[in-house]
Structure 1
C-alpha cells in the first residue's frame, strides 16, 4: 500500500473522531479536539486526492469513516448492536475494498499522471 492510501486511511480514522465529537463534545477542549480532528482529516484527504482519483478517495474516506463511527458508537457509547447494521457495514466495506483494488495507485481521474 502506498503512502497516499495510508493518508486516506489515517484521514478516515480522524473522521471517526470528529463525527463522534460533533455528537458528544460538551466543553472547550472536546470542541477543540473535534476541530483539530476535522482539520487533520480533511488535510490528509485533500493531499491524497492530489495523487489519487478524487472520487475514489472520497468514497473510501467516507466508507471507512462510516464503518469506524458505527463500530465506535456500538463499542464505546452503548449504541444497540444489530446484525443488520453489521451486514450493511460489511457490504459497505466490501465496496470500499473493491474500489481500492480497481483503482491504480498513481493515476488521477481524467487520465492524468
Structure 2
C-alpha cells in the first residue's frame, strides 16, 4: 500500500471515529462512555493530522467532514430512530459524490511530491 492510499484509509478511519465521538457527545452518560468518546476524539484527530501531512489539507478536511457528517446522520437514523426521509438520503448521496469527486480530483503528482518531502 502506498503512502497516499494509506492516507485515504486514515481519513476514512478518522471519519469513523468522528461518528463515534459525535454520538458520544450526545449520548454518553456513564464514565466509561465518556472515556470511549475521549479516545475516539484522540484517534480521530491523530489520523486527521497524519493524513494532512500527506495530502492537501483542504481536501483532507473536506473529505473527513463529509464522511463524518454522512456517517453521523446514517448512524442517528439506524441506531436512534432519527428520521431519514428520501430528501435527506438523496442529500447524503450528493455529499458522498462530492467526497469521491475530491478524492478523484486530487492530482497524483501532489500526492507523490508530498510523500517525497516527508521521506
Give the TM-score, by structure 1 length.
0.92
* Residue in structure 2 matching 1:31, options 34, 38, 41: 34
In structure 2, stretches of 5+ residues that fail to align are none
Task: Figure out how many residues of one structure are paired with residues of the other and give that number.
Answer: 111
8 A Cα contact 1:14 1:37, kept in partner: yes
- Tell me the distance in 2 between the aligned counterparts of 1:28 and 1:98: 40
> Helix, strand or coil for the counterpart of 1:8?
helix
- Tell me the distance in 1 between the aligned counterparts of 2:77 and 2:5: 31
* Residue in structure 2 matching 1:10, options 8, 13, 19: 13
Q: Does 1:65 align with 2:68?
A: yes
- Tell me the distance in 1 between the aligned counterparts of 2:108 and 2:12: 14
- Tell me the distance in 1 between the aligned counterparts of 2:71 and 2:39: 18
* Greater helix fraction, Structure 1 or Structure 2: 2
In structure 1, stretches of 5+ residues that fail to align are none
Distance verdict in 2 for CA 1:25–1:100, change over 3 Å: same
Give the TM-score, by structure 2 length.
0.87
Q: Aligned-residue CA RMSD in angstroms?
A: 1.6
